[in-house]
């Protein structure tokens, strides 16, 4: 028997077995909707992971058991769900129809037999390429495989640009709105800053939105050139300064977003995991930074970062990126903690470990060491949730002492994005 047909038969047998073994549950099968003989296209694998995550959230405690199955007819997930089959089918139809990439998956529901869209009086799916019903185009082979795959790739690219840029902007706002925040600007006050306000940051975020999309688009291209990221970053900086009247609100974050977002998209499309992502961040950063630090001493006009590097050997955010942003991956997810408490836990741990050159610039190196000790003391005492009064007290104290952990704030944005989008990664 043809291996693909054999795999299809094995899946049918498995559905029958699960229907017997989980007789009080309906069975849901999630798989990619792929034309042609190759069913496990690398560029599409993140879609399976994305919808698996959506199903876990949607049916939550009603899932009694699930399993991932590798198959020549297309890898798939199978679930036993303690719900009526028609209710499950209705919800999966909403998932498919209200998501840009929903057309690229099949969610088949079985409850004493297969439940179709027509059973629920729902419209049949339309063709990817034209407005005709999908089954009519498939039967007549109206569209070539090349035509279909071009459309699939267009949908994937559009989804990644829209979804990742939305999550990125949301993360920037989440960081900005966090309070108390150790001398940083928030929705409550300007922290220790006299040259910027909450409104200044809002103007900056609006100015950066188109460049975030450009960073993501670089990651989508086959010819990946870090020099393009530099050019985008320079234009983003110019727009930031134009919007804020010359105030540096997001310069460090602009650099981090260019490196991280492009590496993330590359990792997703290669169907790789966090080790690959970290390595990509390192490689992109090395190409951008080059031999910069070998010639700092020779520069006629030195930046604040240059002076800090020459005095203390600290490379700031650039140095973290050269190492692959290890703190983003090392700091726990705190999935059992919700809301702003979780973000505070991230920030405290970043401040405890990061050699934040923004603190050194605004105060001195000894203050950085003191801040790290303060944060480590909070962690030892149970973290933010058990030390809210201490965090409030230190935030007021840092505000008066002009302490501002800007580098940690930038990394917090990247951490939030990573935690939200890591579902796309292989591991």
Task: Mark which of 142, 166, 191 sits at the end of a domain.
Answer: 142
For the segment 86-123, what is each residue's pLDDT rounded down to a tens digit? 999 999 999 999 999 999 999 999 999 999 998 888 87
CB 356 within 8 A of CB 408: yes
What pLDDT score does 30 carry?
98
Query: 58-67, 132-141, 409-418: lowest mean pLDDT where?
Result: 132-141
Quick one: 172 and 74 in the same domain? no
Task: Mark which of 142, 172, 202 sits at the end of a domain.
Answer: 142
Instruction: Decide: pTM greater than 0.85.
Output: yes
* Cα–Cα distance measured from residue 179 to residue 181, given in angstroms and rounded to the nearest whole number: 5
Quick one: 160 and 309 in the same domain? yes
What is the average per-residue pLDDT within 135-146? 79
For the segment 276-324, what is each residue's pLDDT rounded down to a tens digit? 999 999 999 999 998 889 888 888 888 888 999 999 999 999 999 999 9
CB 133 within 8 A of CB 125: yes
Q: What share of the chain is helix, strand, coil (3-state, %, to 5)?
A: 65, 5, 30
What is the C-alpha R_g of the chain? 25
Task: Mark which of 108, 142, 176 sits at the end of a domain.
Answer: 142
Residue 422: pLDDT band with limits 50, 70, 90: very high
Quick one: 199 and 79 in the same domain? no
CATH code, domain with 397: 1.10.4200
In eight-state DSSP terms, residue 133 is B
Quick one: 182 and 291 in the same domain? yes
By residue range, what is the domain housing residue 13? 3-142
Q: Which residues pair with 114 in a beta bridge?
A: 110
């Amino acid at each position: 028997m043809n291996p693909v047909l054999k795999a299809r038969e094995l899946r049918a047998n498995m559905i029958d077995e699960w229907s017997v073994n989980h007789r009080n549950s309906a069975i849901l099968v999630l798989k990619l909707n792929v034309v042609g003989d190759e069913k496990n296209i690398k560029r599409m694998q993140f879609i399976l992971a994305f919808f698996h995550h959506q199903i876990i959230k949607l049916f939550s405690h009603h899932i009694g058991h699930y399993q991932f199955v590798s198959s020549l007819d297309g890898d798939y997930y199978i679930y036993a769900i303690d719900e009526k089959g028609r209710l499950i089918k209705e919800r999966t139809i909403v998932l498919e129809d209200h998501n840009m990439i929903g057309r690229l998956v099949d969610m088949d529901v079985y409850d004493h037999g297969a439940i179709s869209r027509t059973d629920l009086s729902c419209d049949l799916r339309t063709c990817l390429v034209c407005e005709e019903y999908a089954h009519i185009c498939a039967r007549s082979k109206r569209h070539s495989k090349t035509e279909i795959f071009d459309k699939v790739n267009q949908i994937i690219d559009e989804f990644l640009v829209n979804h990742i840029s939305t999550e990125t902007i949301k993360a920037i706002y989440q960081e900005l709105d966090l309070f108390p925040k150790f001398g940083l600007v928030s929705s409550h006050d300007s922290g220790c800053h006299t040259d910027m306000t909450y409104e200044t940051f809002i103007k900056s975020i609006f100015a950066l939105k188109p460049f975030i999309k450009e960073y993501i688009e670089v990651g989508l291209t086959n010819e990946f050139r870090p020099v393009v990221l530099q050019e985008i970053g320079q234009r983003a900086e110019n727009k930031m300064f134009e919007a804020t009247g010359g105030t540096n609100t997001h310069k460090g974050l602009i650099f981090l977003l260019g490196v991280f977002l492009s590496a993330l998209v590359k990792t997703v499309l290669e169907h790789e995991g966090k080790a690959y992502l970290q390595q990509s961040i390192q490689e992109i950063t090395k190409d951008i930074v080059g031999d910069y630090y070998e010639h700092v001493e020779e520069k006629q006009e030195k930046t604040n970062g240059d002076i800090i590097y020459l005095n203390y050997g600290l490379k700031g955010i650039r140095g973290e990126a050269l190492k692959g942003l290890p703190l983003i991956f090392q700091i726990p997810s705190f999935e059992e903690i919700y809301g702003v408490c979780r973000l505070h836990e991230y920030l405290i741990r970043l401040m405890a470990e990061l050699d934040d050159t923004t603190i050194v610039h605004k105060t001195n190196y000894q203050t950085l060491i003191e801040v790290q000790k303060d944060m480590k003391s909070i962690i030892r005492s149970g973290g933010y949730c058990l030390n809210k009064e201490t965090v409030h007290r230190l935030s007021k104290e840092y505000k008066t002492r002009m302490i501002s952990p800007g580098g940690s704030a930038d990394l917090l944005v990247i951490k939030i994005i990573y935690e939200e989008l890591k579902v796309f990664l292989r591991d």
